[in-house]
Amino acid sequence: MIKIMNAKEVSLEEILIRDFALPDVSDTVADIIADVRKNGDAAMLAYAKKFDGATLTGLELTRAERDAALGEVEPAFMDILREAAANIRAYHQKQVRSGYVMSEKEGVILGQRVLPLAKVGLYVPGGTACYPSTVLMDAIPAKLAGVEELVMVTPCSKDGTISPNIVAAAEIAGVDRIFRCGGAQAVAALAYGTETVPKVDKIVGPGNVYVAEAKRQVFGKVAIDMIAGPSEILAIADGDNDPVVVAADLLSQAEHDKLATAVLITTSAEFAQKVAEALEVQLQKLPREAIARPSIENNGKIIITDSIDAAIDIANEIAPEHLELLVSEPFEYLNRIKNAGSVFLGRNCPEPLGDYFAGTNHTLPTSGTARFSSPLGVDDFVKKSSFMYYSTDALNAVGEKIAVFAEKEGLHAHAVSATIRSKRGGKK
């Protein structure tokens, strides 16, 4: 049974549990990375045999294999993928930005260039899991940013195949190359390159503890999106909601992972009890009860507070990944919400709407990092470069000021560089 508590009797740290004792896999991951760096494709094929039970002759899916996989996808689901992709594309198109040029001062031109990353690696969980939504969410912003080559890695089945639904999503999203490899070894291959897997500039996408640790270890060699923690949902609800509906929303995240956290904050003790009862009924019917029940019983909570405003204050301190605001006039509170990965407004906006279809990105900051980070978007796939131009007269007008600044910092060569052109009658 989920715990029901009064807000005055529980600390913020207890409301949304994030201090999990995860296994230390750093040495194992370091060994895998070193092996891939040294042995390349041979190491990758050996790990495919060891971890996936697959005897492979090649890592990359051929065009024929991709076409064969597409032929296995239900046409109705292909249509759904296309519609979801269109929504994601329309939302993220608004994030595409261009550079700028400033020329307000005589003889001075300043500016910024926005340039796409050349190669990006997309990690997609596979094996027993299948997340075509992750492909769409991560690949579409990259393509809108102008990434030249998008490389996807995902574990394969024992027969060496990849889920047709994953391949279909990749095709719709514009993924250029697909490789049947997963785990820490796939991250290593993307970071350092092998005979067939290209070295990339950035790695994005979720994974297990080994993937997360590998991303941590290769950071600096390549960029990464984030180190994602377990999924979280915080629902704020008044007493006018349907408890069965709210319970279903909480379970939508609890079924992800035993470490996932589902929390409800409500102003009604009676409603809290009804939600707890509805959770128990739904848990007993849930195919993934073995995962969802530990999440609800160990990490889940229903918190009773005095007002919606007080609930939002708690939410801002916690900075949840997903925040549902289940009230009649949600827009009245939107500007008060400062820290959340994604906000779901009103009674008709369940979290899975954002996971799959609405168009907003479902790769979100977890573990309280919504205090300073953002959902995955187009900006994650670009870099910015500044440029400047000064005419002779423009430089001469400020050279001595620059020199004074430099001397104050004890950097004499800087001062000389700023003034030497005017003293030597520099070229126009």
328 by DSSP, 3-state: which? coil
- Assigned domain for 6 exists: no
- Which pLDDT does position 10 carry in this prediction? 87
Lookup: tokens for 209: 């503890």
Distance of CA 312 to the CA centre of its chain: 24
How, if at all, do strands 119-123 and 108-116 pair? unpaired
Q: Clarify whether residues 134 and 206 are in a common domain.
A: yes
Q: Clarify whether residues 216 and 351 are in a common domain.
A: no
With CA atoms as reference, report the closest residue to 121 among 207, 26, 29, 24. Answer: 207
Q: Clarify whether residues 343 and 239 are in a common domain.
A: yes
Q: What is the pLDDT along the chain (428 residues), one digit of tens a residue?
A: 999 999 988 888 888 777 777 789 999 999 999 999 999 999 999 999 999 999 999 999 999 999 999 999 999 999 999 999 999 999 999 999 999 999 999 999 999 999 999 999 999 997 556 899 999 999 999 999 999 999 999 999 999 999 999 999 999 999 999 999 999 999 999 999 999 999 999 999 999 899 999 999 999 999 999 998 899 999 999 999 999 999 999 999 999 989 999 999 999 999 999 999 999 999 999 999 999 999 999 999 999 999 999 999 999 999 999 999 999 999 999 999 999 999 999 999 999 999 999 999 999 999 999 999 999 999 999 999 999 999 999 999 999 999 999 999 999 999 999 999 988 876 66
269-285 and 243-254 helices, crossing angle to 10°: 50
By CB neighbour count within 10 A (0-12 exposed, 13-18 middle, 19+ buried), where does 100 fall?
A: exposed
Q: Clarify whether residues 413 and 326 are in a common domain.
A: no
Q: Which of 224, 240, 263 is the last residue in one of the domains?
A: 224
- The DSSP code sequence of 369-405 is GGGT-----GGGGEEEEEEEEE-HHHHHHHHHHHHHH
Q: Clarify whether residues 413 and 287 are in a common domain.
A: no
- Assigned domain for 41 exists: yes
Q: Clarify whether residues 152 and 292 are in a common domain.
A: no
Q: Clarify whether residues 84 and 138 are in a common domain.
A: yes
CATH at residue 237: 3.40.50.1980
Q: Clarify whether residues 31 and 178 are in a common domain.
A: yes
Lookup: tokens for 405: 């600044």
Q: Please tell me the number of Cα atoms within 13 Å of 423 on its side-chain side.
A: 9
Phi/psi at 178 (5° precision): -125, 130
Single out the catalytic residue among 321, 324, 351, 362: 321
Lookup: tokens for 58: 């090649």
Q: Clarify whether residues 362 and 216 are in a common domain.
A: no
Q: Which of 202, 224, 246 is the last residue in one of the domains?
A: 224
Number of folded domains that form the chain = 3
How, if at all, do strands 108-116 and 382-390 pair? antiparallel
345 by DSSP, 3-state: which? strand
- Assigned domain for 305 exists: yes
Single out the catalytic residue among 322, 324, 351, 362: 322
Q: Clarify whether residues 257 and 220 are in a common domain.
A: no
To the query of whether residue 322 is one of the catalytic residues in this protein, the response is yes
- Assigned domain for 37 exists: yes
- Assigned domain for 145 exists: yes
Report the C-alpha gap between 26 and 28 in whole angstroms: 6
**Domain span holding position 419:** 392-423
Q: Clarify whether residues 214 and 237 are in a common domain.
A: no
- Which pLDDT does position 127 carry in this prediction? 58
- Assigned domain for 4 exists: no
Measured from the Cβ of residue 418, the count of other Cβ atoms closer than 10 Å reads 19
Report the C-alpha gap between 197 and 177 in whole angstroms: 9
241 by DSSP, 3-state: which? coil
Q: Please tell me the number of Cα atoms within 13 Å of 147 on its side-chain side.
A: 30
Tell me, what amino acid is at 83?
E
- Assigned domain for 2 exists: no
Q: Clarify whether residues 397 and 271 are in a common domain.
A: no
Q: Which of 224, 257, 281 is the last residue in one of the domains?
A: 224
- Which pLDDT does position 228 carry in this prediction? 85
- Assigned domain for 1 exists: no
To the query of whether residue 321 is one of the catalytic residues in this protein, the response is yes
Lookup: tokens for 80: 């759904």
